[in-house]
Amino acid sequence: MADFVKVASLADLPAGSAKTVEVGGTSIALYNVGGQVHATTNTCPHRGGPLGEGVLGGEVVVCPWHAFEFEVTSGRCLTNPNLQIPCFPVRIEGQDILVQV
């Protein structure tokens, strides 16, 4: 099983925002939903858009390229039920955001 890796600080991810980080060559999008941090792949399965640069509204991120919508808590696509994005476990230690990839 993979270890948790520090990827950011809570100060880097205000509530309602998204941020992109790299972990071992994997691009991950972080989201702060009301103080809860979630992590998904940064790549939209539709056409490869950068989800971490999308608009976050509640638990839903909108891909900036073609407006596909994904729940950041589950990875479920609201636009096309045949699509899904991987989610990664997140742990908070003090002010550090750790992700397991």
- Please give the Cα distance from 30 to 52 (Å, whole number): 7
CA atoms within 13 A on the CB side of 92: 13
Instruction: pLDDT band for 18, please (50, 70, 90 cuts).
Output: very high
pLDDT value of position 2: 76
Cα angle, residue 16 at apex, residues 10 and 19 outer, rounded to 5°: 60
pLDDT value of position 31: 98
What does the pLDDT look like over 63-74, one tens digit per residue? 999 999 999 999
Please identify which residue in the block is written with the tokens 């919508």.
69
4, 92 Cβ separation under 8 angstroms:
no
- Residue 10, by phi and psi: left (phi above 0), alpha (psi -120 to 50) or beta? alpha
User: What percent of the chain clears pLDDT 70, i.e. is strictly above it?
Assistant: 99
User: Would you say the pTM of this structure is higher than 0.75?
Assistant: yes
Token readout for 65 is 């390229």
Neighbouring-strand partners of residue 91: 98
pLDDT value of position 1: 59
What would the mean pLDDT of 21-41 be, rounded to a whole number? 96
SS (HEC) of 48-62:
CCEHHHCEEECCEEE
What would the mean pLDDT of 52-60 be, rounded to a whole number? 97
